[in-house]
Structure 1
Amino acid sequence: MSFAENGRFHYNRKENNMMKKVLFPNQNKEILCQENDTVAVACSGLGYPLDLVCGGKGTCKKCTIEIERDGIRQEVLACQEPVSDGLIVYLKYGDYKHEASILTDRIETELNIDPPVKKIFIDKKFLKTPFYYGDWEHIQAKVPVRINTPALCLLQKLSQLMQKLEMDGITLVLRDEQLLDIEQGDTSASNYGFAVDLGSTSVVAYLYDLNSGKKVGVYSALNGQITEGADVISRIMAAMKNSEGLKILQRKVAETINALILEAIQQNQISAENIYTMVICGNSAMQHIFLGLHPGSLGRTPYTNTILSEVLTTARELSLNIHPNAIIDFLPLIGGFVGADTLAVLLALPEGERQGNRLIIDLGTNGEILLGNEKKWLATSTAAGPALEGATIRFGMRGTNGAIERVKLSEGKIELKVIGGEQPRGICGSGIVDAVAEMLKAELISKEGRLLSPGKYLKVCRPENQRFANYLANLDGVSVFYLMDEGQSGDNDRIYISQKDIRAVQLAKSAIYTGCMLLMKEYGLEGEDLEEILIAGAFGNYIDAPSAQVLGLFPNFSNVPIRSIGNAAGAGASNFLLSRNIRINTLILLAKITHFDLAANPAFQQEYLQNTGF
């Protein structure tokens, strides 16, 4: 592939007769591609990566774009369509601009602020080394903490600084007993760290002043890896299918984090060199890819990880644009696909909320479930798939402008709430849950999940709901329910929920519900034994809990409240960053968590099938 900017080509390999020129008139750009490249590859090569939810398999249809070949315009799947010489691609902004509403709110807990990175300023008057003595030994004697012998590069820097007569002192940057840097002058006021929730779909970074423990800012973006697939299995396959796959994925996530770093330092007018540590949590696949560990073993039985323990490395090794010696701390995994993000959810809970029995459901691209109390926790993951986030739904989309986020059916009327107040372009996860729950309550769907025909519906519905029969139809042999009147969507397609969509929701909700119930059975708890049900994660925060319980996505136990705790993983990573007590107790907490393998449970398949009904 050869890159073009402003209409001019930039060749990065020897041109030959097999190269194909592809035109992008909306961007006023062109690109040369190899004969076997797809339109999606051409878009990515120009810097406009498409949202390949299915990993380029051609099943999600989210990369549908308009092209012109030999004078004929048509819509194609970019991930499947081969390029040809003179191909015109009419790429629109919405095709490649991946924006979404990303959950950044987190629960706050009272902490004794004691971060791992501290600065010690030594005034020049205390730096005069005694005769025949060593500079470093003299400095070590002047500070109240023990410091390991510095790396050679820092000793070299010290030798230069000690020759500067105009210097007013030096600042030592310490991570516990490790020296990260020696800085000229008093820089002790500038000491920052990041806590990062590295999700499969989104990345949220919290910047903290480590001197005060104050949160300086919150920054978020979609994970750049979404162009390689929506779920972790797609990412694992992308890493395995070619020799450069892992490097590409690792680079994309580093670029995502670096973009957030750049936003933070520009907004707060601080130096990236004054960011000395970063705590990261993520699921097992994200840990492997971020650290450059091949994730192949996660994609096949027995689903082993390269390492479960906490991993410490440096910003330099991971190409992160903060202080090169900054310590990057990836929190420990629990086991299988239950990663550091699930551990971080527990770290976010105040001590009092770990005492009573709690069921915690972390809903994102994957579902992780925790059950227990301060003495013992069981943890599991379930492959709910991306349907609940809109990935495999016909009109599914991320939670961005134009997405239907709320649906209400009442007395023959359909009420929609659309993000941004725009014309509806699709429906996001919370809207899908609402829509199917409302359709179920209006008896448009049977308990088995069958969408009724207009004639059958009129025989069973309540009189005030008869008008809903006008929204039932059959398209190419598939039953659908329209969410709007003709013309209501403007130039966009008339949005509907299909029988296939309902089935996808059934399979997803059954996976979560079955996981919860089997975990309860394994622990030996009944519903009435629970203090409450907590919902964590982006998707869990936006959905309507009663709608989710109508579907059977969440268990519904009498007198057991259910509440959202926001981005608990980000909160736990922040607590780990700021509190020595949290860091010390993490290993103690980890020893109380047992991984429960749902797939190996002989009852899982049977109960999963039974729970697909509403």
Structure 2
Amino acid sequence: MPDVTLIRGDRTDLLSAHPGETLLDLLGRCGVSFYAPCGGGHTCGKCRVKATGALSAMSDEEAILLGSAREAGVRLACFARVEGEATVTLQAPAEAQTGENSPAPSEPAGETEPLGFAADLGTTTVALSLFGLKSRRLLSTESALNPQRTFGADVIARIDAAGKGALPALQTSIVGALNDMLSFVCRKAGAAVERVQKGVIAANTTMLHLLRGLDPASIAQAPFTPKSLFGGDVPAGELGLSIDPNAPVHLIRCLSAYVGGDITAGILAADLGNPKENALLIDIGTNGEMALSRGREIFCCSVAAGPALEGARIRYGMGGVPGAINQVTLTKEGLSVTTIGGEPAAGICGSGLLDAAAALLDCGAVDETGRMDGEELPPALAGRFLALDGQPAFLLSKEQGIAVTQQDIRELQLAKAAFAAGIALLLKEAGLTEAEVDRVVLAGSFGCALNPKSACRIGLLPAAFLPKTQAGGNTAGLGAGAVLLEDGARARLTQIAWDAKYLELSGRADFNDAYVDAMLFPDGEE
């Protein structure tokens, strides 16, 4: 087998490759966490590495996706095949932003107190918290990028990878990540990992299948019937976790193939089902999951929003990591742009894309159909409008050349229309108007990061929701923590699972009609 030297920062590893194997397949097989949004589909152009040595020649398709980067020794890992000795250099992965402003807590554990953990296995980010079970103190937390991102940014890409033989690698990678995080939080708390006697995990349905090593193929095929909706306890040893092997780990019950245990936990944490109000919980991502309560009744659905908000299929798209443009604001002087960590702009993340679209609508660079046109821009912005590979584009960062293109706007329209249509169908099913919703909770790190005003301006959320929209933080993690520590929380989860009415939107004519209607951007600020 040819050897591939892998360089990551100060670390160098020697990987044994199968002749003809792509670099992406090699990295996935060896458990290397790597950003590959389309999972090797040859569509996103994001799996970039610096590579030299005996690799397959660059195809025309790869060259087009790379653009000018091909001149800097950059290859796409999904195209480049190993033909002999090679050297590959990866950029050290930047940590995703969680949206939380407070530093991670760290307290010493009591000498004899039993410990427990609550984890949220997100498609993008994994978060884990360590608690004292008697004192109910939060001792330590840790978050990390999900290592399964090597197999694709969304669950469909990972389901496809599992069907092509990567299921064992997908399972091993997530179990390994959990064990690393458990070791880290216990070390910070000054406790042996064997003292962890109990755990709770919230995750979407696909993530739980991959954790358990179950084939998730049926989730992606009509009638979308998962092998399990979970909801029970599993011995930690059976999961491969490094804590007490007999410790029960509760896998929070899912509501359907695409409304997972993370939403069930979120419903609990956000207190949906309160008889005194109507409330909406939205988890914004590649799959938009949402739940609407009308008093005690709960209605839920999922929409396929596409990967635009995760950075895939966006020319300069990236995750919420340092250097990503995360805020865009129109000013009297023209445009103000900020990046995560104050780093030089390297791309644009989902919250920045929403802000940019709102700003382009307000300044007239984009009309309600989504068409970009720079003819009537004010002088302070006119120099930012240009043609990029034959399509209109608008520069956000002149220094680094980061722009939003016409195709980016079209991708965003697809995503925002899916959310708007899902919300419309939930309201219809519940017999509520937009004005009758008392509270809107945006779940997860993206919900914390986005500007609700921008979300309403582009029509992702109804304008009527703006004054009652709030960031809920990691509702899945909060719900998992409640199940770990609070008496009665598990019974409430069971009640939620029984009471929630799931709407399957695929094939519904009224959803398709609402989706088409929502493709247009609102005329202006209301």
> Is TM (by shorter chain) over 0.5?
yes
Quick check: 1:527 aligned with 2:434?
A: yes
Indicate yes or no: 2:451 matched with 1:544.
Answer: yes
* Change beyond 3 A, Cα 1:380–1:261: same
After TM superposition, the structure 1 = structure 2 runs for residues 148-547 of structure 1, keeping only pairs within 5 Å, are 189-242=112-165, 245-350=166-271, 353=274, 355-452=276-373, 454=374, 457-458=375-376, 461=377, 465-485=378-398, 488-489=399-400, 494-547=401-454
Partner of 2:524: none
> Which residue is equivalent to 1:612?
519
Alpha-carbon shift at residue 42 of structure 1 (Å):
4.2
The farther-off stretch of 406-415 and 294-303 is 406-415
Shift of 1:400: 1.3
Matched, 1:93 2:91: yes
Measure the CA separation in 2 of the matches of 1:585 and 1:29: 48
Deviates more, 1:26-35 or 1:293-302: 26-35
Provide the C-alpha distance between the structure 2 equivalents of 1:503 and 1:82, rounded to a whole number of angstroms: 33
Q: Write the distance in 1 (CA, Å) between the matches of 2:269 and 2:117.
A: 16
Distance change >3 Å, CA 25–CA 307, structure 1 → 2: closer
How far apart are 1:65 and its partner, in Å?
2.3
In the aligned structure 2, how far is the partner of 1:404 from the partner of 1:559?
23
Structure 2 match to 1:66:
50
Name the counterpart of 1:51.
35
Query: How big is the shift at 1:207?
Result: 1.0
Partner of 1:80: 79
* Greater Cα offset, 573-582 or 352-361: 352-361
Instruction: Provide closer, same or farther for how the CA distance between residues 603 and 46 of structure 1 changes in structure 2, counting only shifts above 3 A.
Output: closer
Q: Decide which of 87, 98, 103 is 1:102's aligned counterpart.
A: 98
How much has 1:374 moved relative to structure 2?
3.9
For residue 364 of structure 1, report the CA deviation from its aligned partner: 3.3
1:401–1:25 CA distance, 2 compared to 1 (3 A) = closer
Q: Tell whether the 8 Å contact from 1:347 to 1:576 is kept in structure 2 after alignment.
A: no
Per the TM alignment, residue 421 of structure 1 is displaced from its structure 2 partner at its CA by: 1.4
Cα offset for 1:369?
0.9
Mapped to 1, the partners of 2:216 and 2:12 lie a distance apart of 39
The question of whether the paired residues in 2 share the 8 Å contact of 1:471 and 1:481 is answered with yes
3-state SS of 2:358 partner: helix
Please list the CA deviations of residues 525-553 of structure 1 after superposition, one character each: whole Å capped at 9, or x if unmatched.
Answer: 11221112221111111000001100111
Is residue 196–residue 281 contact of structure 1 (8 Å, CA) maintained in 2?
A: yes
For structure 1, list consecutive stretches of 5 or more residues without a partner in the other structure.
1-18, 107-186
Equivalent residues of 1:104, 1:220 under 8 A apart? no
Q: Secondary structure at the match of 1:565?
A: strand
The answer to whether 1:573 aligns with 2:480 is yes
- In structure 2, how many angstroms separate the alpha carbons of the residues matched to 1:401 and 1:352? 38
> Retained in 2: the 8 A contact 1:472–1:481?
yes
Change (3 A) 1:526 1:567: same
Question: Matches of 1:266 and 1:321 in 2, distance apart?
Answer: 13
Aligned residues: 497
| CA displacement, residues 408-439 of structure 1 (integer Å, 9 cap, x when unaligned) | 12235221111121111111111111111111
Give the conservation status (yes or no) of the 8 Å contact 2:33–2:147. no
**Which secondary structure state, in structure 1, belongs to the residue aligned with residue 75 of structure 2?**
strand
Q: How big is the shift at 1:468? A: 1.5
Q: Secondary structure at the match of 2:117?
A: strand
Contact kept? 1:347, 1:573, Cα under 8 Å: no
Q: Shift in Å at residue 365 of structure 1?
A: 3.6
Q: CA deviation at 1:68?
A: 3.4
Question: Which letter maps to 2:225?
Answer: T
CA 1:237/1:45 → structure 2, altered by over 3 Å: closer, same or farther? closer
What is the identity percentage for the equivalent residue pairs of Structure 1 and Structure 2? 34
Distance 1:253 1:278, change over 3 A: same
Query: Secondary structure of the residue that 1:591 maps to in structure 2?
Result: helix
Give CA-to-partner distance per residue, 1:159-186, whole Å, 9 cap, x none: xxxxxxxxxxxxxxxxxxxxxxxxxxxx
CA distance in 2, matches of 1:246, 1:576: 29
> What is the distance in 2 between the residues matched to 1:354 and 1:554?
24
Q: How does 1:109-128 map to 2 (within 5 A)?
A: none
Paired residues of 2:328 and 2:355 also in contact (CA < 8 A): yes
Contact 1:274 1:323 in 2 (8 A): yes
- Structure-1 separation of matches of 2:264 and 2:30: 39
Tell me which structure has the larger Cα radius of gyration: 1
Q: CA deviation at 1:189?
A: 3.1
**Residues 558 and 42 (structure 1 numbering): CA distance in 2 closer, same or farther, change over 3 Å?**
closer
Alpha carbons 1:207, 1:217 under 8 Å: kept: yes
The root-mean-square deviation of aligned C-alpha atoms, in Å, is 2.3
Q: Deviations over 1:97-143 (max 9, x none)?
A: 2521124689xxxxxxxxxxxxxxxxxxxxxxxxxxxxxxxxxxxxx
Amino acid at match of 1:479: P
Distance 1:559 1:227, change over 3 A: closer
Question: Matched residues in 2 for 1:199 and 1:31: separation?
Answer: 28
CA contact (8 A) 1:384 1:507 kept: yes
Amino acid at match of 1:84: E
Amino acid at match of 2:178: I
1:405/1:395 Cα in 2 relative to 1: closer, same or farther (>3 Å)?
Answer: same
Q: Distance in 2 between matches of 1:82 and 1:448?
A: 42
CA distance in 2, matches of 1:571, 1:32: 42
Preserved CA contact (<8 Å) 1:368 1:381: yes
